[in-house]
Amino acid sequence: MKKLIFIALFTSSLAFSQVPKIELTANGIEPVIINVDVKQASAIYGKTIEWLEKTYQTPDDVIIENLENRKIGIKDIEKTVWITNRIGVDVNYDMEYTLKIEFKDGRIKIDYTLGNFVKDGQQLSTTYKDLFKKIDGSIKYNYDGAVAGIEKKLNTKNESLYNFIMGVNTGEDW
């Protein structure tokens, strides 16, 4: 029984270890390359289109670029990337983002461009750059939760796409 549990944990960790973690810095997010083994670019593209249809309520509204088998661009708002407490009231911040996915045989390139924050449906003039100190690029006091929240949301999105392309069952279907 212990061996079975070990194998299950090891196998599930392998699925997630294939997806490089993104990190938010004062310069933004560096693009990541995800290997998807023996899949052809056209098959990866097809699975990505299916993922978009399952992930977004109206995929046609978020797709801004679609070069078949080569590249897809998405522009959307990620909900509740971070919650802060202001004078005893929880405030949710959403964030605009653009996601470009490029396809090659056996790999995809994921590139995020982050936009402004949105609060209560109103676009703010605040961007991710405002979370960092200008001199040394470190996170400003009290914004570590914002950076962690952004990274978690975008890494979860990347893992979801990878799992869908690879056919990894995450236990959500029953």
- Which pLDDT band, with edges at 50, 70 and 90, does 85 fall under? confident
| Cβ–Cβ < 8 Å for 113, 98 | yes
91-145 pLDDT, tens digit each: 889 999 999 999 999 999 999 999 999 988 888 888 999 999 988 889 988 888 8
154-164 pLDDT, tens digit each: 999 999 999 99
Whole-angstrom Cα distance, residue 47 to residue 116?
A: 29
Per-residue pLDDT, 170? 60
Write the CATH number of the domain with boundaries 2-166: 3.30.530.80
Whole-angstrom Cα distance, residue 18 to residue 39?
A: 14
- Taking the model in full, what pTM does it have? 0.82
Per-residue pLDDT, 4? 42
In this structure, of 35-39, 78-82, 97-101, 170-174, the range with the lowest mean pLDDT score is 170-174
> Average pLDDT of 77-101?
88
Per-residue pLDDT, 13? 44
What residue ranges do the domains of the chain occupy?
2-166
